[in-house]
């Protein structure tokens, strides 16, 4: 499956089902509102982590090489910081970031195994369709083991529930 940027630009990359996880859905929220939910920390903190988990901190430096940092809190009170770097920012269309690279495009150290961490790149694609948005989220992994780990952690349920929360917030 080749995913293209909305309009007539060349394909971003090809999805490899052995390495990548995809959530695609039509949502009844305009692209501009979906974009705002993803790019404004005060919005993102309210929907990004599927309840009963919470996103308790968020920093966004919305530019290639900029910081994308969140801290998630489990229902038991454990905190999970996540630091990444934006790779591509196309307003109301595409947002790509990774935790394999830190802000300023500095390589990240290996993730801490005791935290279940792994490296991946995420792409969120938005395409206006009528009054809503064709929403595609892709988690790109470096190997089949981390893809399987991410899927077993509940990628589809978790990212789907978070998207539902985004829609409820932004309607």
pLDDT tens-digit readout, 31-76: 999 999 999 999 999 999 999 999 999 999 999 999 999 999 999 9
48 within domain boundaries:
yes
How confident is the model at residue 110, as a pLDDT? 74
146 within domain boundaries:
yes
116 within domain boundaries:
yes
pLDDT value at 116 more than 90: no
124 within domain boundaries:
yes
8 within domain boundaries:
no
26 within domain boundaries:
yes
How confident is the model at residue 118, as a pLDDT? 87
How confident is the model at residue 1, as a pLDDT? 36
Dmax (CA) of the chain: 47
CATH assignment of the domain containing 73: 3.30.530.20
Beta bridge pairs of residue 121: 98, 140
pLDDT, average across residues 136-159:
95
Annotate the chain with DSSP letters as a single string: -EEE-SSSPPEEEE--TTTEEEEEEEESS-HHHHHHHHH-HHHHHHHSS-TTSEEEEEEE--STT-EEEEEEE-TTS-EEEEEEEEEEEETTTEEEEESSEEGGGEEPPPP-GGGT---EEEEEEEEEETTEEEEEEEEEESSHHHHHHHHHTTHHHHHHHHHHHHHHHH-
Closest by Cα among 79, 57, 76, 78 to 68? 57
How confident is the model at residue 120, as a pLDDT? 93
- Give 164 or 5, the one with higher predicted confidence: 164
Q: How many CB atoms lie within 10 A of CB 76?
A: 6
How confident is the model at residue 10, as a pLDDT? 39
Q: How confident is the model at residue 11 (pLDDT cuts 50, 70, 90)?
A: low
pLDDT, average across residues 100-124:
82
How confident is the model at residue 112, as a pLDDT? 55
Window from 3-7, 59-63, 118-122, 153-157 with minimum mean pLDDT: 3-7
9 within domain boundaries:
no
Q: What range defines the domain where residue 32 resides?
A: 17-170
How confident is the model at residue 114, as a pLDDT? 41
Closest by Cα among 77, 88, 68, 75 to 13? 88
Q: How many domains, in total, are found in the chain?
A: 1
Closest by Cα among 66, 68, 67 to 55? 68
Of the chain, the percentage scoring pLDDT greater than 70 comes to 89
10 within domain boundaries:
no
- Evaluate whether 21 touches 138 at the Cβ level (below 8 Å): yes
């Amino acid at each position: 499956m080749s995913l293209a940027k909305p309009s007539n630009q060349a394909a971003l990359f090809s999805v490899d089902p052995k390495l990548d996880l995809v959530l695609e859905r039509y949502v009844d929220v305009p692209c501009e509102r979906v974009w705002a939910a993803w790019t404004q920390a005060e919005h993102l903190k309210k929907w990004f982590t599927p309840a009963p988990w919470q996103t308790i901190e968020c920093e966004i430096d919305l530019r290639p090489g900029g910081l994308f940092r969140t801290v998630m809190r489990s229902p038991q009170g454990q905190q999970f910081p996540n630091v990444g770097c934006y790779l591509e920012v196309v307003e109301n269309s595409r947002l790509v970031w990774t935790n394999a690279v830190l802000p300023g495009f500095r390589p990240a150290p290996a993730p801490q195994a005791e935290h279940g961490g792994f490296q991946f790149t995420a792409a969120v694609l938005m395409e206006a369709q009528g009054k809503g948005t064709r929403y595609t989220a892709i988690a790109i992994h470096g190997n089949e083991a981390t893809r399987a780990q991410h899927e077993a952690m509940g990628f589809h349920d978790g990212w789907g529930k978070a998207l539902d929360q985004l829609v409820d917030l932004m309607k």
